[in-house]
Amino acid sequence: MSEMSSSATGRSFLTGRKVVASMFVMGICATAFLYGYWTLHLMPFMPLQEAIVAEFPGSAPRVNGGKKKLHKDTPTILQIGMKLKFDPTGTDAVTVGAVQNVQSRIHELVKQKVNFPELDIVELYIYQLQQERDIRERSFRLDYRQPTEWTEVDLTGNPIIENRAASESGPPTTVPPDNIGSKSSTP
């Protein structure tokens, strides 16, 4: 049996040294890939992420940006995800004011900290973790070239329109525009 795994010279092709050397090479390549990704993709937004942490302690922000398809003429998007201490789906005046405060501060921080001249859209994803698997979340989009107001969007990026009265447990029931007129349920 041992003769079948060895070459014609009697030595095994796959030695322990070759295995260890290939593991080191694979580890070095993986580390170089992660370093390149971190430097090129995430580091340009680190000042903004640090400013959000300073402004909203405990928010654990995640910031990234770029174009979805470089070879096509797609907009440059900056995506910000952050955790809040309050429920962003609340409809009372205090919660609505707090969400608007977060939006305005994020807009100001983006203007101050992001040196991205071709920035087209800012997407803000805010959430509060409740119990296990219960997340209260909302997403907003701002046209950065002509910032008038934040538009609420669903998780696929479609604008949300209000079409029914607010329920007691959260904001108004919403439907993406492409589902208008069809039998739809809340997302």
Quote the pLDDT of residue 162. 62
Domain assignment present for residue 103? The answer is yes
Average pLDDT, the chain: 79
Quote the pLDDT of residue 148. 76
Label residue 149 left, alpha or beta by phi (over 0 means left) and psi (-120 to 50 means alpha).
beta
- Most confident segment among 89-103, 108-122, 132-146: 89-103
Average pLDDT over residues 148-154: 84
Higher per-residue pLDDT: 183 or 127: 127
* DSSP at 41: I
Domain assignment present for residue 18? The answer is no
pLDDT digits over 62-98, tens only?
Answer: 998 887 777 778 888 889 999 998 888 888 999 899 9
Range of the domain at 89: 45-179
Domain assignment present for residue 67? The answer is yes
Total count of domains within the chain: 1
Quote the pLDDT of residue 8. 57
**53 pLDDT tier (thresholds 50, 70, 90):** very high
Domain assignment present for residue 166? The answer is yes
Contact 158, 178 (CB under 8 A): yes
Return the structure tokens found at 109.
Answer: 């921080």
Handedness of CA 31, 34, 35, 36 (dihedral sign): positive
Contact 119, 143 (CB under 8 A): no
- The long-range contacts involving 143-148, CB below 8 angstroms and separated by at least 24 positions, are 144/78, 144/110, 144/119, 144/120, 145/120, 147/107
Domain assignment present for residue 26? The answer is no
Handedness of CA 81, 83, 84, 86 (dihedral sign): positive
Return the structure tokens found at 84.
Answer: 């809040």
Quote the pLDDT of residue 32. 96
Average pLDDT over residues 164-178: 40
Handedness of CA 154, 158, 159, 163 (dihedral sign): negative
Domain assignment present for residue 37? The answer is no
Backbone phi and psi for residue 80, each to the nearest 5 degrees, phi listed first = -125, 125
Domain assignment present for residue 187? The answer is no
Higher per-residue pLDDT: 63 or 171: 63
Domain assignment present for residue 153? The answer is yes
Record the pTM: 0.67
